[in-house]
């Protein structure tokens, strides 16, 4: 199953405001948008009435207000979204531990292992959907299929608050008629290439000649033909705790294409993880950057350190260098850092060109900041 929150940011804001006596903004001309004074004044989510006015995600507030002068604007609230996301996944974990979190508002659930407990998957999906709305106040779409690809496609059928199936025997009738740009895993540039080759629908791609496509898609050719046929062998990978690594990922409020904004997120993550390391009296020997782009393609790039560290500045510097080296300029949906090969040992190989006094000062500064945060809270240091 693929479970996807309908219009997550706006729905979660609406649920929070309803507790405070506010009207339900899901039925008003409303958007969630950033701060115009900080050049982040773009639409992150819009209500159904606002959508009917032609307002689109990622357009500027200036443009949105021209379409709807009486538009209500609400700021994003990352802490609220994290909390609502956590409640969703906690509810689902009451039924199975086989959950793969894809982003803050969606996940895959392997139902096969618990079907003998809960019965028919369609009845169970309706039960879960209704329970989420009853207990948490927002709606979800649930897609059911024989694999992750088709489950994701099914959950994107008509919305909101729906359950759809896309079983193996339904691929030709339900998926093939769709436009090729609607195929999960096909980006805009690939869709444009296919359309230029007169491949308009998913069926056209499913039946395409591999030799004809190969000059344009190289080693990805067989893969895109397979997914057009509903073939996907990826398993649901639930997150396991590993004492030898820690990680943090942030699903961004919109698709970032400004490296300065991305670096700000890497700075926050570096500080958070380095603090966790120091609280555990541990050091990392490997640093990895996790990148998920706007097309949901996830890549991880890592480097092994000469000297283990728990210093936030070092983690940040290495992370930004890794990101810059491997980023292909595709807008980013999610960014994260993973620290591997954790150790209690801080054997340090000194360089002839290193300022040891400066390094000691940084370590002492970290200890002082950690003490202040523990005593007065994380927000004490600005």
Tokens 């898609």 sit at which residue? Answer: 217
Tokens 């531990």 sit at which residue? Answer: 97
Q: Tell me the Cα Rg of the chain.
A: 23
> How many Å is the maximal CA-CA distance in the chain?
70
Rounded CA-CA distance 318/302 in Å is: 9
Tokens 């294409």 sit at which residue? Answer: 257
Q: Assign 339 to helix, strand or coil.
A: strand
CA 190 to chain centre: 22
Structure tokens at 279: 């609280």
| Distance in angstroms between the alpha carbons of the first and the last residue of the chain | 43
Residues in the chain: 382
Q: State whether the Cα torsion 335-341-346-350 is positive or negative.
A: negative
Active site residue 317: no
Which residues are registered as beta bridge partners of 169? none
Nearest Cα to Cα of residue 319 among 258, 255, 267, 254: 267
Active-site choice (100, 106, 234, 276): 106
Tokens 């909101």 sit at which residue? Answer: 160
> What residues have CB less than 8 Å from 244, skipping those under 6 apart?
340, 341, 342
Catalytic residues, by residue number, are 106
């Amino acid at each position: 199953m693929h479970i996807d929150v309908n219009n997550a940011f706006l729905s979660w804001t609406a649920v929070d405001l309803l507790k405070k006596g506010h009207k339900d903004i899901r039925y008003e001309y409303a958007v969630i948008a950033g701060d115009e004074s900080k050049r982040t004044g773009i639409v992150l989510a819009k209500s159904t009435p606002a959508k009917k006015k032609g307002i689109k995600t990622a357009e500027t507030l200036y443009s949105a207000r021209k379409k709807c002068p009486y538009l209500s604007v609400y700021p994003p609230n990352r802490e609220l979204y994290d909390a609502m996301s956590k409640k969703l996944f906690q509810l689902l974990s009451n039924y199975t531990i086989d959950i793969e979190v894809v982003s803050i508002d969606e996940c895959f659930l392997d139902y096969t292992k618990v079907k003998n407990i809960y019965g028919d998957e369609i009845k169970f999906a309706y039960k879960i959907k209704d329970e989420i709305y009853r207990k948490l106040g927002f709606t979800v779409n649930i897609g059911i299929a024989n694999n992750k690809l088709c489950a994701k496609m099914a959950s994107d059928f008509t919305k909101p608050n729906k359950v759809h199936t896309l079983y193996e025997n339904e691929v030709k009738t339900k998926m093939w008629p769709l436009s090729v740009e609607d195929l999960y895993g096909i980006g805009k540039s690939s869709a444009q290439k296919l359309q230029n080759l007169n491949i308009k629908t998913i069926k056209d791609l499913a039946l395409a000649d591999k030799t004809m496509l190969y000059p344009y898609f190289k080693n990805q050719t067989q893969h895109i033909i397979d997914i057009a046929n509903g073939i996907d062998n990826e398993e649901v990978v639930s997150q396991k705790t590993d004492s030898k690594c820690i990680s943090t990922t942030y699903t961004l409020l919109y698709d970032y294409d400004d490296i300065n904004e991305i670096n700000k997120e890497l700075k926050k993550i570096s500080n958070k993880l380095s603090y966790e390391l120091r609280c555990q009296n541990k050091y990392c020997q490997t640093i990895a950057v996790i990148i998920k782009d706007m097309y949901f393609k996830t890549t991880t790039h890592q480097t092994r350190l000469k000297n283990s560290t728990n210093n936030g500045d070092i983690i940040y510097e290495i992370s930004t260098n890794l990101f810059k080296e491997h980023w292909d300029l595709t807008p980013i949906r999610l960014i994260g850092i993973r620290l591997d090969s954790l150790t209690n040992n801080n054997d340090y190989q000194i360089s002839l060109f290193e300022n040891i006094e400066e390094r000691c000062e940084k370590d002492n500064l970290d200890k002082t900041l950690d003490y202040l945060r523990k005593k007065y809270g994380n927000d004490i240091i600005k």
